[in-house]
């Protein structure tokens, strides 16, 4: 029987590429995003790999919406074997100028969503006594980043949640890891100014941005059989941004 992977924020960017890669690996995929149209496009491409793909448009910052979505995925697919918490946003600004609204929004989408999804999915995985959870954090969560006070807070929290859940769920055969990408070429980083991009490139040992398929490859490894004994880890994938 095929295994099932949930990918949040799968409408574009890193999430869409993870969906393609896990489909190529033979997973059935349950795809989430706010944008139902973009999600349908991702699903169509996933189906080219001969697997089952279904769309679950929902706002992952809503606890109720996540509960309903996970229930529906379980009913549709029977099992939930992999959860990739990828959905995320930025509302960048310096601490001194940051509005409460932008702080709360980024924490809700990037951090609370991980609680929402892990709470409901881990209940299913605990009964199955197996599962993999992969949380997409960021180098900003590991090292901080000026101008990303809210984003760094949310991504650092994801690392704490990952380690705590790994300790709580390990005995049930569930591995929980985080990945911390550096600068990856996606619509999120396209929004940076040319000056910001040049300054960042200068700091990266490999002198290039990462690509979405490089992130998807790491997720594929963490979802696959070769990583069965890895849990509670944060794997940085940044081309040597912080060495
Ligand atoms: P992206 O291109 O902006 O894609 C993010 C996706 O998440 C979008 O499709 C977006 O939908 C969706 N989304 C946003 N809010 C949502 C919500 N409340 N519920 C469900 N879906 C929602 O970003 P990306 O660059 O692929 O980033 C993916 C993840 O990697 C994020 O967690 C990001 O923080 C992390 N990351 C990215 C980089 C990078 O350099 N790109 C570096 C480190 C970490 P809409 O289109 O409707 O907004």
Alpha helices in the chain (DSSP H): 13-24, 36-47, 63-77, 100-107, 113-128, 139-143, 149-169, 187-190, 194-203, 212-223
**For ligand 1, mutation pick of 37, 88, 186 (most atoms within 8 Å of CB):** 88
pLDDT number for residue 151: 98
What lines the ligand 1 site, CB under 6 Å? 8-9, 11-15, 32-35, 38, 59-61, 86-89, 109, 136, 138, 181, 183-184, 186-189
Ligand 1 centroid vs 212 CA: distance in angstroms? 12
CA of 192 to the centre of ligand 1 (A): 15
Residue 23: what pLDDT? 99
Integer Cα distance of 189 and 183 in angstroms: 7
Tens of pLDDT along the chain (243 residues)? 899 999 999 999 999 999 999 999 999 999 999 999 999 999 999 999 999 999 999 999 999 999 999 999 999 999 999 999 999 999 999 999 999 999 999 999 999 999 999 999 999 999 999 999 999 999 999 999 999 999 999 999 999 999 999 999 999 999 999 999 999 999 888 888 899 899 999 999 999 999 999 999 999 999 999 999 999 999 999 999 988
- pTM score of the predicted model: 0.98
Q: How far apart are CA 156 and CA 7, in angstroms?
A: 20
Q: How far apart are CA 154 and CA 159, in angstroms?
A: 9
CA 188 to chain centre: 14
Active site residue 20: no
């Amino acid at each position: 029987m095929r295994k099932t992977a949930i990918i949040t924020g799968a409408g574009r960017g890193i999430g869409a590429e993870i969906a393609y890669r896990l489909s190529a690996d033979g997973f059935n995929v349950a795809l989430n995003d706010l944008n139902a149209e973009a999600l349908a496009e991702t699903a169509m491409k996933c189906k080219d790999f001969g697997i089952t793909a279904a769309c679950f448009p929902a706002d992952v910052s809503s606890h109720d919406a996540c509960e309903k979505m996970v229930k529906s995925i379980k009913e549709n697919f029977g099992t939930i074997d992999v959860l990739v918490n990828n959905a995320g946003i930025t509302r960048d600004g310096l601490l001194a100028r940051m509005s409460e609204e932008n702080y709360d929004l980024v924490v809700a989408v990037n951090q609370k969503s991980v609680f929402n999804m892990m709470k409901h999915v881990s209940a299913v995985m605990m009964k199955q006594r197996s599962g993999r959870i992969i949380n997409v954090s960021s180098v900003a969560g590991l090292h901080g980043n000026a101008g990303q006070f809210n984003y760094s807070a949310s991504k650092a929290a994801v690392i704490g949640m990952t380690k705590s859940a790994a300790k709580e769920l390990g005995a049930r055969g569930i591995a929980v890891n985080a990945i911390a990408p550096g600068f990856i070429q996606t619509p999120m980083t396209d929004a940076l100014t040319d000056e910001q991009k040049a300054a960042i490139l200068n700091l990266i040992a490999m002198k290039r941005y990462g690509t979405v398929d490089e992130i998807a490859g790491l997720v594929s490894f963490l979802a696959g059989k070769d990583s069965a004994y890895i849990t509670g880890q944060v794997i940085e994938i940044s081309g040597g941004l912080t060495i």
